[in-house]
Amino acid sequence: MEPLRPKTPENFFRATRYIGCATKPRACPDDEGGEVVFAGRSNTGKSSAINAICGHRGLARTSKTPGRTRAIHFFEVAPGRRIVDLPGYGYARVAAGVRQDWAVWITRYFETRLSLRGAVVVMDARRPLTTQDEQAVDYLRNLPLHVLLTKSDKLKRAEADAALREVRRALSGGAVSVQTFSTLKKQGLDEARTKLAGWLNTA
Ligand code: GDP
């Protein structure tokens, strides 16, 4: 596929639109081109990050109810280039049997999806690398990873820098990059856009 040549990282995402959700592999869009998944604990600011990166306030739904949805949501950045919003982890309210089914189908998605180019793992900058975050990183490690340390506006500059260093050190040794991010202060938007556009342009 021809690389897109936007003037700015922001333009690359401007026309992003929601194209639907899937709760089983057959319902996913055709597995062609390239896609980037977003994973993270519920309430870390994953939906807000997708909205900010794409410059659409209402694109991904920000939720007050953790673990509200078990569907995978797809957003088309350009033909054949997609952002994929995975359900937030932390499913205390979901029955064990449902959790099992969910795990099976998400696992199948990761094992079979050829268009996957990379994963964005969203963590709260104030408490990164929770057990669930580490499990997600381990699970996704065969993909290039980009970590967003969100809500950096809630930290002092020195604290945010320390969090960045800590996570970089903990996750060193692989295709992993880490940045701080704030939708509130619009901090780190272009860094995230540039990373994602690079991945999607290798489709
Ligand atoms: P999700 O469950 O991970 O998709 O999280 P949401 O995007 O729904 O955000 C959860 C809560 O965190 C909401 O109340 C957001 O307004 C808030 N939030 C998201 N990003 C930021 C940020 O960068 N800074 C601050 N201070 N709050 C944020």
* pLDDT tens digits for range 19-60: 998 887 788 999 999 999 999 998 999 999 999 999 988 888
Type of residue found at 45 = G
pLDDT band at 67 (very low <50, low <70, confident <90, very high): very low
> Are 17 and 155 contacting, i.e. CB atoms less than 8 angstroms apart?
no
Two structure tokens written together for 83: 């952002």
Q: Which atom, in ligand 1's list, is nearest to the CA of 50?
A: 7
Predicted pLDDT at 6: 63
List ligand 1's pocket residues with C-beta within 6 A. 40, 42-48, 62-63, 88, 150-151, 153-154, 182-184
Give, using CA atoms, the residue closest to atom 12 of ligand 1.
Answer: 45
pLDDT band at 173 (very low <50, low <70, confident <90, very high): confident
Q: Which atom, in ligand 1's list, is nearest to the CA of 60?
A: 4
Two structure tokens written together for 178: 């880490």
- DSSP tag of 154: G
Predicted pLDDT at 152: 98
In the predicted model, what is the mean pLDDT of the chain? 88
Give, using CA atoms, the residue closest to atom 17 of ligand 1.
Answer: 45
Q: What is the whole-number distance in angstroms between the Cα of residue 26 and the centre of ligand 1?
A: 31
The mean pLDDT of 114-136, rounded to a whole number, is 94
Cα 3 to its chain centre, rounded Å, is 22
**C-alpha to C-alpha distance for 187 and 203, rounded to whole angstroms:** 27
**C-alpha to C-alpha distance for 97 and 62, rounded to whole angstroms:** 26
Q: Which atom, in ligand 1's list, is nearest to the CA of 48?
A: 7
Q: What is the whole-number distance in angstroms between the Cα of residue 1 and the centre of ligand 1?
A: 34
pLDDT band at 137 (very low <50, low <70, confident <90, very high): very high
- Interhelix angle 46-54/189-200, rounded to 10 degrees, is 80
